[in-house]
Structure 1
Amino acid sequence: MPLSADRKKQYRSLGHNLNPIVTIAGKGLSENVIAELNRALDDHELIKVKLMVADRDLRKQVVKEMCKEARAEIVQEIGKVALIFREAKQPNPKLSNIR
């Protein structure tokens, strides 16, 4: 289910103060990176990901692939940082960035 414009705006404002939790190097997405991404999304729901990829087109492709693999939605992408969201099945209010 795509996020509405109002929900994206709300998540962008929440994400402004977040620090990147996952860093993806130029090698792309490995099983370990996907596992860490899924763990972070399960815990926090809204996370920032830093992409250490120099080429803009390749970076956009990695973000799309990352969201597809993690079943997440892109909220915002600025430079080498992406803000992504996936609703947790059993959210923990102490860990979640949106609750």
Structure 2
Amino acid sequence: MTLNNKQKQYLKGLAHSLKPVVLLGQHGLTEGVLAEIELALNHHELIKVKVAAEDREVKTLIMDAIVRETNAVKVQTIGHVLTLYRASELKKITLPR
């Protein structure tokens, strides 16, 4: 799934007031963390994930792995916070064309 710029801007506006629902700790990206991200995406469609990695390259690799493993779309990255979107069957968020 790809989003155009108008859809990304809309999702960024919706995500502005959200708090991160999943926090990656010292153990990094584990099966349990991926399962929590999957549950959050299925329930909310639009979530924020906080990746607490010191090294910028490691942080980027972790964020890319999350996007790849969850089949979600990266809406934006600000600092250590990754915003993800994946439509669920219920279609809670209606995207503009």
> Residue 32 of structure 1 aligns with which residue?
32
> Residue 58 of structure 2 aligns with which residue?
58
Are 2:45 and 1:45 equivalent residues in the alignment? yes
Are 2:97 and 1:87 equivalent residues in the alignment? no
Cα deviation, 1:30-50, whole Å, max 9, x if unaligned, reads 111011000000000000111
Question: Identity, % of aligned pairs?
Answer: 36
Q: TM-score, normalised by structure 1?
A: 0.88
Q: Distance in 2 between matches of 1:13 and 1:55?
A: 28
Q: Distance in 1 between matches of 2:63 and 2:17?
A: 21
Structure 1 runs not aligned, ≥5 long: none
Q: Distance in 2 between matches of 1:54 and 1:89?
A: 36
Give aligned pairs, total: 94
Matched to 2:18, the amino acid is L
Cα deviation, 1:24-73, whole Å, max 9, x if unaligned, reads 12422111101100000000000011111111111111001001111101
Structure 1 segments, 4+ long, off by >6 Å, are none
Q: Distance in 1 between matches of 2:9 and 2:27?
A: 31
Structure 2 runs not aligned, ≥5 long: none
Give 3-state SS (helix, strand or coil) of 1:10's partner: helix
User: Cα RMSD over matched residues?
Assistant: 1.2
